[in-house]
Amino acid sequence: MAHAMIVALSMPFIAKAGEENAETKTVVPAQWQKPAWVKELSLAVHESNDSNVFAQNAGKLANKPSWLTTLSPKLGLDFAPLIGSPDLFQVASLEYAPDFVFYHNTPDQTYSAHRLSAGLKGKDDAFSYNLDNAFTFIDGKDLAPLFPQGVSAFGSAVARDRLRQIQERSNISLRYDVESVFLRPTASLLYYNSQTQLHDPVGSFAGYQNYPDRYDVNGGADLGYMMDSANAVTLGYRYGHQEQQILPWDAHKTTASNDYQRLLAGFEGKPVKWLTLQFQAGPDFRNYGAATPIPADDKNPVKLYAEGTALAELTSADTLALKYKRWNWVSCLGKVPYTDSVCDLSYRHKITSKLSLQAGARAANANYHPAALRNDWDYTLSAGLRYAFTAQLSGDISYAYDWGCNHEDGLTDIAVYNREFERQVVSLGATWQF
């Protein structure tokens, strides 16, 4: 199917099928070149082994391994060169990057993820804008797993990401510069539409994981001051709302839906030549309703919001990247809010002109205080090598180790054991760039 798609997309772009040789009167095929507005056309194939498909340490789904095959075609377009206004339309991109994932030992987990992203970026004198949207449709099972022994830390997320659903992430920002000062209105949307069945987890559905719909939407503005041509400080404000679907059988209509306001201070720029920084942080003021299952004196908490990135180009061959985010979100399992934190560190080293090394470390935390005795952590270490055989063909091999656990004090030994899991994923693959 991927091959047929590539051929169909390629046919209209071929400028010349061949040229006639004057002496032999034979047709010599010409090498096809991508137009400038076709940024990427590729196909990747990976064969992997997952030692713990459901990320469980206990119960009937514990430590189930599977081989899986992933096919990943990718088409990336940028129509800005065709429009002919290099300032007003610096980027006008559209990308389709699906994954077709086949689980050989647990075939009921086979799914396909269809990712479509679009972006617009441009500038007109003092006015500039940036819009991006990422839409994902996952075509998988609509029946979630049963975890009668209790789901492990982050195990519900591992299973959820293969189920039938729609995800959407959108961001828009406008900016107006007046000398060293700028105003930047902004808005964002994070939306999860779960299309799995909902069941009251009793009787034959004991331990069933329900995934209610949820979203976060906010808007506001940043006021910035350019300290020099490369660095700026900002003060910002956001007003937002989070919605969490109420489960049909819940007579108490329990939900963690809330309104919030944020005050943010930030920095963006290059404090030194080799380092690029961007971050915002500040107090987050929450307003939970009476139906949120937290103590009355915690209905209006003040939490820390922080988000940022750092990119260090240490040498011409070494790059280090850090991403961090901490915020309050509503649970994908329904009913309660929690503090969601993630820190992601990645390193890339160019060993030779053809061989490169990638390594990473990630720590994610879901703290459900005061709603529940859950303080889940997920730690991941990964490493991989990539080798470019030609300009078009590359191969890669990677390994990832995943450990989930609950650091909550006062739990029984059984509860602690059920919350833990270990998982290893080994992958070998190849990518062809057309």
For residue 304, the surrounding DSSP H or E stretch is strand 302-313
The pLDDT of residue 78 is above 60: yes
The pLDDT of residue 345 is above 90: yes
pLDDT for the residue numbered 421 = 95
Q: How many CB atoms lie within 10 A of CB 36?
A: 10
pLDDT for the residue numbered 225 = 98
The stretch 411-427 carries a mean pLDDT of 85
pLDDT for the residue numbered 32 = 66
- The answer to whether 41 touches 8, Cβ cutoff 8 Å, is no
pLDDT for the residue numbered 371 = 86
Nearest to 241 by CA among 266, 220, 258: 258
pLDDT for the residue numbered 73 = 98
Upstream peptide bond of 107 is cis (omega within 30 degrees of 0): no
The pLDDT of residue 27 is above 60: no
Band of residue 4 on the pLDDT scale cut at 50, 70, 90: very low
Please state the three-class secondary structure of 230-278 as a single string: CEEEEEEEEEEEEEECCCCCCCCCCCCCEEEEEEEEEEEEEEECCEEEE
Question: If 0-12 CB within 10 Å is exposed, 13-18 middle and 19+ buried, where does residue 242 land?
Answer: buried
Query: Could you tell me the maximum CA-CA distance found in the chain, to the nearest angstrom?
Result: 91
pLDDT for the residue numbered 347 = 98
Q: How many CB atoms lie within 10 A of CB 417?
A: 17
Q: How many CB atoms lie within 10 A of CB 88?
A: 16
Q: Where are the domains of the chain?
A: 38-433
- The answer to whether 127 touches 175, Cβ cutoff 8 Å, is yes
The pLDDT of residue 269 is above 80: yes
- How does the average pLDDT of the chain come out, rounded? 91
Domain 38-433 class in CATH: mainly beta
Count how many Cα atoms sit within 13 Å of the Cα of residue 421 in the half-sphere of its side chain.
30
pLDDT for the residue numbered 30 = 55
The pLDDT of residue 414 is above 90: no
Looking at the DSSP bridge assignments, the partners of residue 63 are none
Chain segment 302-327, per-residue pLDDT in tens: 999 999 999 999 999 999 999 999 99
pLDDT for the residue numbered 10 = 41
Query: What is the radius of gyration, based on Cα positions, of the chain?
Result: 25
The pLDDT of residue 43 is above 80: yes
- The answer to whether 56 touches 63, Cβ cutoff 8 Å, is yes
pLDDT for the residue numbered 1 = 40
Chain segment 45-77, per-residue pLDDT in tens: 999 999 999 999 988 999 999 999 999 999 999
The stretch 425-433 carries a mean pLDDT of 97
For residue 107, what are the contacts with CB-CB under 8 A and spacing of at least 6?
Answer: none
Dist CA 227 CA 240 (whole Å): 30
If one compares 32 and 350, the residue with the highest pLDDT of the two is 350
Chain segment 245-260, per-residue pLDDT in tens: 999 999 999 999 999 9
**SS3 helix, strand, coil % of the chain, rounded to 5?**
10, 55, 35
For residue 335, what are the contacts with CB-CB under 8 A and spacing of at least 6?
Answer: 244, 247, 250, 254, 255, 256, 293, 371
The stretch 85-90 carries a mean pLDDT of 91
Length of the chain equals 434
Chain segment 199-213, per-residue pLDDT in tens: 999 999 999 999 999
Band of residue 31 on the pLDDT scale cut at 50, 70, 90: low
Band of residue 235 on the pLDDT scale cut at 50, 70, 90: very high
For residue 384, the surrounding DSSP H or E stretch is strand 375-388
pLDDT for the residue numbered 219 = 98
The pLDDT of residue 23 is above 50: no
Q: What is the pTM of this model?
A: 0.88
Structure tokens at 19: 């040229």
For residue 325, what are the contacts with CB-CB under 8 A and spacing of at least 6?
Answer: 306, 307, 308, 340, 341, 342
Dist CA 113 CA 97 (whole Å): 8
Chain segment 161-174, per-residue pLDDT in tens: 999 999 999 999 99
